[in-house]
Amino acid sequence: MTEMQLILVLWLVGVLTEAITGALAAGRNRMDLFGVVMVACFTAIGGGTVRDVLLGGYPLIWVAHPEYLLAIAITALLTVACAPVMRYLSRLFLTLDALGLAVFSIIGVQKALSMGCSPMTAIAAGLITGIFGGILRDLFCQRVPLVFQKELYAIVSLATASLYMGLTLVEVSEWVKLLICLPLGFGFRLLAIRFSWSVPTFDYQEQTAH
Amino acid sequence: MTEMQLILVLWLVGVLTEAITGALAAGRNRMDLFGVVMVACFTAIGGGTVRDVLLGGYPLIWVAHPEYLLAIAITALLTVACAPVMRYLSRLFLTLDALGLAVFSIIGVQKALSMGCSPMTAIAAGLITGIFGGILRDLFCQRVPLVFQKELYAIVSLATASLYMGLTLVEVSEWVKLLICLPLGFGFRLLAIRFSWSVPTFDYQEQTAH
Amino acid sequence: MTEMQLILVLWLVGVLTEAITGALAAGRNRMDLFGVVMVACFTAIGGGTVRDVLLGGYPLIWVAHPEYLLAIAITALLTVACAPVMRYLSRLFLTLDALGLAVFSIIGVQKALSMGCSPMTAIAAGLITGIFGGILRDLFCQRVPLVFQKELYAIVSLATASLYMGLTLVEVSEWVKLLICLPLGFGFRLLAIRFSWSVPTFDYQEQTAH
């Protein structure tokens, strides 16, 4: 298996995991099956889509490969069918989501670099890929994005993307970069969940200028 | 009248109908006249704009033809002026909206095919064109998109786009495609309204992983 | 100082002012520091980003100059650190925001014209640049955009952009255009705040077709 095949497999795991979390979020909003499929799509490929629209990286991945949309739709409908057992799998989803977060962050950096972006833009692209699926999910489910309020999630994405970018600058081989960044990003997120690490909150309740 | 003239006329009917539904939704949120015009614009041309941004189909239609923005703004302000009689016209709007939905879905497929997209992407483009105006309207009016929750709306768009795509693949002439897809899509939506058809809902209220 | 240097300095003042208003809005939603930085970014550069995505004007400014993202992030974090004194500065922020609004509107027109857009599209681009940062801020903070509901804000942007476009059509020199449009746009907004000018509201509470 080449490193690109590894990253593709992990990307697919991440995409389908995000499809499941999107479908469950839609269910919490009592959406119909069509809404479930749509929110699953936004969650699963929203991050990469926002990144590519912002970078002008056309064609988008799901435009070139619409079969991913089909895979996401099927995953979303299977999630509905298997809803009764989903509650017992929440730990598994958190784990797969943590893996997906690390993979998405790395892929975002790779994509931006392949388009000739600067290191700082590439890190931003990694972050956008990592977190925007969840932001879109929360936007369509009418809640302030979780990633802005709770848990160490975005910071994990930022750290993973930055580390990958740093290793790229010192010209480490692709395998070594993946073997360093994937476990560290994945482990960082798992530790953040385990110990409920979070970022300080800014609570500003004065009435001021809008 | 050529088939392209017919589709342009029907598109304009659809755009202006959507402008009216957008203006009324803004009024339900007690927006000011500027907000009314903006929400009318999002509703009327949001679907095509999202489609073209996702496909990279520049320039956008309203960038090339900003006079459409003016027509939408005038329609929105006329809607405000005629608000007292609007309640008596709701059946007319539902009917015009049903026609617009079929037309938008067909135009989305046509646009994607003209850009060399695959059949499945073209169907997705038809769906996006059909429903994203309403999604943006609901997003800016702070409600979970209607299209994700109620009524057979998106499915009508999906069916119309799929049928048009299928007829394109078997190389039917443009007139025949329109004469088949427009009445079927339009009629399907009217039947869905008449008999309150809807898609099953997914209600998932367990607390699980985000 | 050339006119382009003046406009760049004023643009930076506007961007950093918007970053502060974004950070404070995030604080009102009790977001964490990451959310604060994100909402500051959306508010500060969201308008220009939406404009360039709609016009296809790649690369986006912050993709070409990611150091602006860093400046916005630092400004947002300084806003958190200085939160206790922020309430005493609300009048200052309103003033800087009014200046930023005029500058953003002018820059939007300039950018669209430099891409060969028509006068009407250029005015739309000025308006989008002026108001979309605040719209995105409100969207992520879960409120109906202020600009759709209260105050003479968007109209100021529209007037400034239209005036600048008009002066461009009669081929006035850049300095003269700036010396006319900046004070007029700025003053118009200050007067609107001072006298609580607002646009009439459309209140439509009938149940009608969606």
Closest-CA residue of C relative to B39 is C148
- What is the reported pLDDT for C207? 54
Q: Per this entry, what is the length of chain C?
A: 210
Confidence grade of residue A210 (pLDDT, cut at 50, 70, 90)? very low
CB pairs under 8 A between A and B: 103
Per-residue confidence (pLDDT) for residue B198, from 0 to 100: 87
Quick count: other Cβ atoms within 10 Å of Cβ C134? 26
Q: What is the pLDDT of residues C111-165, one digit of tens each?
A: 999 999 999 999 999 999 999 999 999 888 877 788 887 778 899 999 999 999 9
Contact status of A141 with chain B (Cβ, < 8 Å): yes
Tokens of A118: 């600067």
pLDDT score for C210: 46
Determine the residue of chain C that is closest to A125 in CA distance. C63
Rounded to an integer, what distance in angstroms lies between the CA atom of residue C23 and that of residue C33?
9
Secondary structure (3-state) at C32: strand
Measured CA to CA, the distance from residue C122 to residue C116 in angstroms comes to 9
Instruction: Check residue C160 and give its pLDDT.
Output: 97
Using an 8 Å CB-CB cutoff, list chain A residues near B148.
Answer: 26, 29, 31-32, 34-35, 38-39, 140
pLDDT value, residue B142: 79
* Chain B closest-CA separation from residue C139 CA (Å): 7
Q: Which two tokens stand for residue C39?
A: 């909402």
Instruction: Collect all residues of chain A within an 8 Å Cβ-Cβ radius of residue C93.
Output: 208-209
Q: How far C122 CA sits from the closest chain B CA (Å)?
A: 9
Nearest CA in chain B to A25: B210
pLDDT above 70: residue A209: no
- Chain B hits for C117, CB-CB cut-off 8 Å, are 63
**Segment B81-120, tens digit of pLDDT:** 999 888 888 888 889 889 999 999 999 999 999 999 999 9
Interface contact flag, B67 C120, Cβ < 8 Å: yes
CB A73 within 8 A of CB A20: no
Residue A206 reports pLDDT greater than 70: no
User: Could you tell me which residues come within 8 angstroms of residue A84 by beta carbon, excluding any fewer than 6 positions away?
Assistant: none
Angstrom distance (rounded) from CA A10 to CA A129: 14
Which residue among B118, B139, B203 sits closest to A66, beta carbon to beta carbon? B118
Chosen from A138, A146, A148, A155 to mutate, greatest number of chain C CBs within 10 A: A148
Summarize the confidence of residues C46-75 as an average pLDDT: 96
The predicted pLDDT at position C90 comes to: 83
For the cut 90, the answer to whether the pLDDT of residue A133 exceeds it is yes
pLDDT of B206 reads 64
Mean pLDDT, residues C79-100: 89
The residue among B84 and A123 whose pLDDT is bigger is: A123
Of the partner residues A55, A135, A149, the one whose CB lies closest to the CB of residue C63: A55
Of C53, C202, C205, the CB nearest to B36: C202
pLDDT tens digits for range B43-76: 999 999 999 999 999 999 999 999 999 999 999 9
Q: Do C206 and B23 touch (CB under 8 A)?
A: no
Q: Mean pLDDT, chain B, as a whole number?
A: 91
Interchain contact, A80 vs B145, CB within 8 Å:
no
- Among the listed residues C43, B148, C133, the one whose alpha carbon sits nearest the alpha carbon of residue A42: B148
**DSSP-assigned letters across all residues of B23-35:** HHHHHHTT-BHHH
Assign 3-class secondary structure to A138-172. Answer: HHHCCCCCHHHCCCCCHHHHHHHHHHHHHHHHCCC
Residues 6 or more apart whose CB falls under 8 angstroms from that of B102 comprise: B156, B160, B181, B182, B184, B185, B186, B189
Residue type, C6: L
B32, B69, B70: residue with CB nearest C200? B32
Q: What DSSP string describes chain A?
A: --HHHHHHHHHHHHHHHHHHHHHHHHHHTT-BHHHHHHHHHHHHHHHHHHHHHHHT-PSPHHHH-THHHHHHHHHHHHHHHTHHHHGGGHHHHHHHHHHHHHHHHHHHHHHHHHTT--HHHHHHHHHHHHHHHHHHHHHHTTS--GGGTSSS-HHHHHHHHHHHHHHHHTT--HHHHHHHHHHHHHHHHHHHHHTT--PPB----S----
CB contact under 8 A, A209 and C33: no
Short-list B117, C47, C63, C109, CA closest to A56:
C63
Least confident of A197-206, B20-29, B44-53: A197-206
- A30 in contact with chain B, both atoms CB, cutoff 8 A: yes
Contact A90 B203 (CB under 8 A): no
Contact state of A147 with C35 under an 8 Å Cβ cutoff: yes
Whether A55 and chain C come into contact, CB under 8 Å, resolves to yes
Report the pLDDT value the prediction gives residue C163, as an integer from 0 to 100. Answer: 98
DSSP output for chain B: --HHHHHHHHHHHHHHHHHHHHHHHHHHTT-BHHHHHHHHHHHHHHHHHHHHHHHT-PSPHHHH-THHHHHHHHHHHHHHHTHHHHGGGHHHHHHHHHHHHHHHHHHHHHHHHHTT--HHHHHHHHHHHHHHHHHHHHHHTTS--GGGTSSSSHHHHHHHHHHHHHHHHTT--HHHHHHHHHHHHHHHHHHHHHTT--PPB----S----
Asked if residue B189 lies in contact with residue B152, where contact means CB atoms within 8 angstroms, the answer is: yes
Decide: C139 and B140 in contact? Cβ < 8 Å.
yes
Q: Is C147 on the interface with B (CB under 8 A)?
A: yes
- What gap in Å lies between CA A163 and CA A167, rounded to an integer? 6
Express each pLDDT in A70-82 by its tens digit: 999 999 999 999 9
Contacts of C30 in chain A (CB under 8 A): 149, 201-203
- Measured CA to CA, the distance from residue C18 to residue B202 in angstroms comes to 40
Q: Above pLDDT 90, what percent of chain C?
A: 70
A147/C contact by beta carbon, under 8 A: yes
Q: Predicted confidence band at C189 (pLDDT cuts at 50, 70, 90)?
A: very high
CB C101 within 8 A of CB C95: no
**Residue B27 to residue C202, Cβ atoms within 8 A:** yes
- Residues of chain C with C-beta less than 8 angstroms from the C-beta of A117: 63
Q: What angle do CA C104, C110, C116 make, to 5 degrees?
A: 140
Q: What is the ipTM of this complex?
A: 0.89
Banded pLDDT at C206 (limits 50, 70, 90): low
CA distance, residue B169 to nearest chain C CA (Å): 31
Between A33, A62, A69, which is nearest B202 by CB? A33
C-alpha separations of C131 from A53, B63, C35, C127, C187 in Å: 21, 18, 21, 6, 17
CB within 8 Å: B30 and C201: yes
Three-state DSSP class for residue C12: helix
Find, in chain C, the residue whose alpha carbon is nearest to that of A53: C53
Average pLDDT over residues A101-117: 96
Residue B201 touches chain A, beta carbons under 8 Å: yes
Q: What is chain A's mean pLDDT, rounded? A: 91
CA distance A38 to A199: 31
